[in-house]
Amino acid sequence: MGHIGRIVGAAGIAACVAVGAVQAHAAEPIRIGAIFSVTGPASFLGEPERNTAKMLEEQLNKDGGLLGRQVEVIVYDDESDTTKAVTAVDRLIKRDRVVAVIGPSTSGSTLAIVPKIEEAKIPLISCAAAKKIADPVKRWVFKTPQNDALAVKRIYRHAKGAGLTRLAVLTASDAFGAAGREELKELAGPAGMTVVSDEVFGPKDTDMTAQLTRIKGTAAQAIIAWGTNPGPAVVARNRVQLKIGLPLYMSHGVASPKFIELAGPENAEGILLPAGRLIAEGQVPSGHPQKAILANYTKEYETRFKQPISTFGGYAWDAIMLVAQAVKRAQSAEPAAIRDALEGTRGFWGTTGEYNFSAEDHAGLTEDAFVMVRITKGNWEMLR
């Protein structure tokens, strides 16, 4: 390359840099990173989360953005793969220079990216449920879904009210089921419950009659089944087949219309489970602080994406809106200021419940984030 070429090249680069700088100065958007499992086995979580994030980005900008700046939500798909989540968080931090990260959808991916987040000193609001994410508290890490322990406490409160103290637990042998089993056994004593039967089933098992027959022969007054589809649906079917009249509790892991479809409405009849208010949005009393949030979110989501609302999308709603309110209160889009404002969040109502973060609590919810619902004629009936 001759002199002229080099000069033209240099000028070109200078021009580009100058244009870039001018643009950045004019309307530098506030960039929020997001990692969701949009495809792969966890896509039932990630897809509604991505949809929700994109919908909120649009809404925030329509209302004038944050601090007078536009909001840009950059979503990467980790394909339900932990390794890809780590690559994605690197890209968000180093290339996209985001001020906060929301997601990932799964607990495994969340725990995998925590070291990167702590190193970069950027707040993370996870949409995954595992207790370990916020216990012990990590300075930069928050989460929106309810802890399993809250669901267990809610079930025990209901069982106690109904005078049921001797329980049979039937849990899936996967991560969700095992975590539930641990909590169920640990919290039984303090709640005045006795676990008289402790059975497990494989997440792919197609027949639970053996376990249920065994439970039938014990002194159990109620059964608590803990897992995600399809296992609990088989439990519901087998229970009716064996004519077991004991009340059946399930976890929030099956709080979706799919469960009723798989079990069949006649087999699901009467099953009790803790769930976020979102699934029975129509039955939330009109004075409730969540009423408007839930009604608007449901309406906007369902008209825009032509698919039923899901609790999981709600986790992303909460995460983005938590960041948005933190930015507003901090009057700053600096990661450290956002983090401090997040930790100072009190009485923020999201789709999942009321968040009260503090230096000791980065999960922020209480068992009131759950309501007990009963499946009645193929529908969710919210119990008082």
Partner 1 sequence: MPALSDLLQYVISGATLGSTYGLAGLGFTVIFNTTEIINFAQGEFVMLGGMLAVFAIRWGGVPPVLAVPLAIGLTTLVGVVVNRLTIRPVRGRSVIVLIIITIGVSIVLRGAAMLLFGKDTYSLPGFSGDEPIAFLGASLLPQNLWVGGMTLGTLVAMKLYFDRTISGKAMLACACDRKAASLMGINVDAMVTLSFALSALVGALGGAILAPITLTSYDVGILLGLKGFAACILGGLGNPFGAVAGGVILGVLESLSAGLISSGYKDAVAFVILLALLFVRPSGLFGQRAADRV
Question: Using CB under 8 A as the criterion, which residues of the chain lie in contact with partner 1 when the complex forms?
Answer: 41, 43-44, 173, 199-202, 204, 206-207, 209-211, 213-214, 216-217, 229-230, 233-234, 237, 240-243, 258, 261-262, 264, 266-267
Strand order in the sheet with 124-126: 71-77, 30-36, 100-102, 124-126, 141-143
CA nearest 254: which of 235, 223, 233? Answer: 233
Distance in angstroms between the alpha carbons of the first and the last residue of the chain: 79
Distance in Å, CB of 166 to partner 1, minimum: 19
Distance in Å, CB of 216 to partner 1, minimum: 8
Spatial distance between the Cα atoms of 60 and 53, rounded to a whole number of angstroms: 10
Distance in Å, CB of 261 to partner 1, minimum: 7
Strand 30-36 and strand 71-77: the pairing is parallel
Distance in Å, CB of 309 to partner 1, minimum: 17
Q: Which is nearer to partner 1, 191 or 240 (CB)?
A: 240
Check: CB of residue 114 under 8 Å from CB of residue 141.
Answer: yes
Alpha carbon dihedral 152, 153, 154, 155, in 10-degree steps, equals 50
Q: Which is nearer to partner 1, 240 or 295 (CB)?
A: 240
Write the single-letter amino acid at 50: R
Q: Which is nearer to partner 1, 254 or 319 (CB)?
A: 254
Q: Which is nearer to partner 1, 211 or 290 (CB)?
A: 211
**CA-derived radius of gyration, the chain:** 23
Distance in Å, CB of 253 to partner 1, minimum: 14
Q: Which is nearer to partner 1, 9 or 257 (CB)?
A: 257
**Host H or E run for residue 12:** helix 3-27
Distance in Å, CB of 103 to partner 1, minimum: 20
Q: Which is nearer to partner 1, 241 or 358 (CB)?
A: 241
Distance in Å, CB of 306 to partner 1, minimum: 16
Q: Which is nearer to partner 1, 30 or 263 (CB)?
A: 263
Q: Which residue has the tokens 């005045």?
A: 192
Distance in Å, CB of 213 to partner 1, minimum: 5
Can you list the positions of beta strands (E) in 37-180? 71-77, 100-102, 124-126, 141-143, 166-172
Distance in Å, CB of 233 to partner 1, minimum: 7
Q: Which is nearer to partner 1, 142 or 312 (CB)?
A: 312
Spatial distance between the Cα atoms of 143 and 73, rounded to a whole number of angstroms: 18
CA-to-CA separations, 85 to 78, 286, 301, 320, 333, in angstroms, rounded = 5, 40, 26, 19, 24
Strand order in the sheet with 166-172: 194-201, 166-172, 222-226, 248-250, 272-275, 371-376, 379-382
Q: Which is nearer to partner 1, 96 or 174 (CB)?
A: 174
Q: Which is nearer to partner 1, 84 or 237 (CB)?
A: 237
21 forms beta bridges with: none
Distance in Å, CB of 232 to partner 1, minimum: 11
Check: CB of residue 220 under 8 Å from CB of residue 246.
Answer: yes
Peptide bond into 41 cis (omega under 30): no
